[in-house]
């Protein structure tokens, strides 16, 4: 299914909020595969954040931390001018915090991140 970026972000956010990060990953992966070259890394990074949450929820903290960091790194190139009102800096910060907590081996609160800036 082909969605616009706002539709993709809304659907992925809904799935994340419902505790379905793998399904959100699938939606974001579709966007990644169909994105223009200039945005491919953005959508890939978002998909990696969602699958990182999936790994965390399934008891794979090392894999989760790796994917969260990889996703955040992919978003870094978009921090100055984030497309589609994506909260790039907030997501990078969130991913780093969660990855760091996962590294400690303690229980981590896996609340869904906000994909877009407040008000969207």
pLDDT tens-digit series, residues 61-95:
999 999 999 999 999 999 999 999 999 999 999 99
C-alpha atoms less than 13 angstroms from C-alpha of 64 in its C-beta half-sphere: 25
| Residue-range definition of the domain harbouring residue 22 | 5-104
Q: According to the model, what pLDDT value does residue 19 have? A: 94
Q: Which residues contact 13 (CB under 8 A, 6 or more apart)?
A: 24, 112, 114, 115, 116
Q: Which residues contact 112 (CB under 8 A, 6 or more apart)?
A: 13, 16, 17, 19, 21, 53
Residue 115 is assigned to a structural domain of this protein = no
Q: What's CA 9's distance to the chain center, in Å? A: 10
Q: Which residue has 């505790």 as its token pair? A: 19
pLDDT reading at 4 higher than 90: yes
Domain count, the chain: 1
What is the Cα–Cα distance from 5 to 83, expressed in whole angstroms? 9
Q: According to the model, what pLDDT value does residue 13 have? A: 97
Residue 113 is assigned to a structural domain of this protein = no
Q: According to the model, what pLDDT value does residue 101 have? A: 93
pLDDT reading at 119 higher than 70: no
Mean pLDDT rounded to a whole number for the chain? 93
Residue 54 is assigned to a structural domain of this protein = yes
Q: According to the model, what pLDDT value does residue 71 have? A: 97
pLDDT, tens digit, 9 for 90 and up, residues 13-50:
999 999 999 999 999 999 999 999 999 999 999 999 99
Residue 50 is assigned to a structural domain of this protein = yes
Q: Quick one: pLDDT band at residue 1, thresholds 50, 70, 90?
A: low
Q: Quick one: pLDDT band at residue 111, thresholds 50, 70, 90?
A: confident
CATH of the domain at 54: 1.10.3450.10
Q: At what angle do helices 88-104 and 61-75 cross, to 10 degrees?
A: 160
């Amino acid at each position: 299914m082909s969605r616009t970026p706002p539709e993709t972000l809304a659907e992925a956010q809904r799935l994340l909020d419902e505790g379905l990060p793998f399904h959100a990953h699938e939606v974001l992966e579709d966007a990644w595969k169909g994105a223009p070259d200039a945005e491919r890394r953005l959508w890939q990074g978002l998909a990696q954040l969602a699958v990182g949450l999936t790994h965390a929820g399934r008891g794979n903290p090392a894999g989760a931390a790796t994917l969260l960091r990889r996703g955040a790194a992919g978003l870094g190139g978009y921090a100055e001018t984030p497309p589609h009102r994506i909260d790039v800096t907030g997501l990078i910060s969130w991913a780093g915090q969660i990855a760091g907590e996962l590294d400690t081996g303690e229980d981590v609160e896996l609340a869904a991140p906000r994909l877009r800036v407040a008000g969207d």
